[in-house]
Amino acid sequence: MPPPDPAPDPAPEGLPTLRIDGAVATVCLRRPSRRNSLADEDLQALLAAIAAVDAEPQVRVLVLAADTQGQPKPVFSAGYDLGGLGADGAGPQLFERIPDALEAARPVTVCALNGSVFGGATDLALACDLRLALAGSVWRMPACALGLHYYPSGLRRYAARFGIDLAKRAFLTAQPLPVEVLAAHGLFEAVVPGSDFDAALDALVQQAAALAPLAAQATKRSLNEIAAGRYDEPALRARERLTQRSGDFAEGRAAFAERRAPRFRGV
């Protein structure tokens, strides 16, 4: 009897990948053996992927995911590779561009937090519009334990998403916070066990993808501006008028009257 075929090799690790499937784009971190820590080359790839998604108008949802295969305990990302934290500060400044780009991305963004998350990677999760967490995972922000004052936009997101008291707890204790504790403060759409994670993620993505894209994308932009203290009523009114005159709004009203699912086209 011939020997059994060897098990297939795992997918090679490397730079983050981008996959576009209709209305949904997925950017996946791919260094599980390094707990998906992010070096400068990964950050550049992430910037390019986000820009590529923004240039595809059919994409309505962008999912940020991570490969956790082979890890003893799933880690979505350990954050920025500390080897890049040089005295010149170039690494952190590059890192800051990633969550800023995620937050400003045109589609609705979903963080598929399928493991624990640490350091700067927590800001990637905060920069997304919606978040799903794996039960039993932890969230840790060790900046002060490393002697680092965090960058301004990251502090803003922490204060806005966590609230000031919980943000202080994260930074000024540097202790791991169970995702179940954060869920009680509304940070996640759901915290689910591993056996249910993929199904829950798909349901959340499909809910977001089914929205009228003009309205969802304009509303996302307006909410982010308000959260950042940039309330501009004329700009918000202009977006309101744009959606009121859109074909999507007409389709939404027709679908409601006819008791059917709407077919939005983003116009």
- Rounded Cα distance, 36 and 6, in Å: 27
Token pair belonging to 163:
């609230």
In this predicted structure, what is the pLDDT of residue 87?
46
In this predicted structure, what is the pLDDT of residue 82?
74
pLDDT tens figures, 173-193: 999 999 999 999 999 999 999
- Say what the pTM is: 0.91
Give yes or no for residue 227 having a pLDDT over 80. yes
pLDDT tens figures, 103-116: 999 999 999 999 99
**Domains of the chain, earliest start first:** 14-209 (3.90.226.10), 213-258 (no CATH)
pLDDT tens figures, 156-172: 999 999 999 999 999 99
pLDDT tens figures, 56-98: 999 999 999 999 999 999 999 999 987 755 544 456 688 999 9
In this predicted structure, what is the pLDDT of residue 86?
52
